[in-house]
Homo-oligomer: A and B are copies of this chain.
Amino acid sequence: MEVKVLKDILEVNDVIAQENAKLFKDKGVTVLNIMSSPGAGKTSLILRTLEAARKDGIGVAVIEGDIASKIDAEKIQEHGVPAIQINTGGACHLDAHMIKSALAHLNLDGIAFLIIENVGNLVCPAEFNLGENKKVMLLSVTEGDDKPHKYPLMFSESDALVVNKTDLIGGTNFDMDGFRKTVLNMNPDIEIFEISCTTGKGIDKWAAWVTNQLSPRK
């Protein structure tokens, strides 16, 4: 019974996700859905990505998802980028309907690139399509290299994996080579980037991948 309800919820979600995807395509907007544990550095990654995109003259906007608070949207707005905050109340993920509602408040004219920051959670966000072009997951080395075994869906569903906080790796027992092998074994097509949002290391390669995803503008 509980399972049946979940199935229905996911089917309804997929229908709305397809509507969102159509709108994004019509407007020529490329959309990334960024997912991670709480505190892995999603907002910091977004700020670094915006910086790179704007240097190239690309119009950008952000949708922020959180259970509560407007902290992240305010951080983005401080940089002069349009940002909408979704507060999910209790829900532990964004869904396609929340994105559809947020889009009513966001003017996509002149926007080529939209970043969605999901709720901090390695589980449920992986199940809900939002209409995005690419799913990106972020893991910080301080979380440990055993996460692919424990949260396999997130690793297998993502198109890109950004490994953050590499500046702190010396204080951890994170085995990068073993971790890469494990992830590529689960998902051979995933692109892996090693970065530090604090020092900026590796951001150039990540930003180049992002630019490659952008749809040609109409």
Interface, chain A (partner B; CB < 8 A): 2, 5, 9, 37-40, 66-69, 71, 90, 92, 119-124, 127, 140, 142-144, 146-147, 149-153, 165, 167-168, 171-172, 198
CB-CB under 8 A from A38, the residues of chain B are 37, 122, 143, 147, 150-151
Least Cβ–Cβ distance between A145 and chain B, in angstroms: 9
Are A90 and B121 in contact, CB atoms less than 8 angstroms apart? Answer: no
**Residues in chain B near residue A67, CB distance under 8 A:** 123, 150-153
Closest to A87 in B: B150
Query: Which listed residue, B71, B92, B146, B172, touches A121 by the CB 8 Å rule?
Result: B92
Check A152 against B90 for contact (C-beta < 8 Å). Answer: no
Task: Please name all residues of chain B whose beta carbon is closer than 8 Å to the beta carbon of A2 when the two chains form the complex.
Answer: 5, 9
**Interface contact B71-A149, CB-CB below 8 Å:** yes
How far apart are the CA atoms of A124 and B120 in the complex, in Å?
12
Inter-chain contact A39/B147, CB cutoff 8 Å: yes
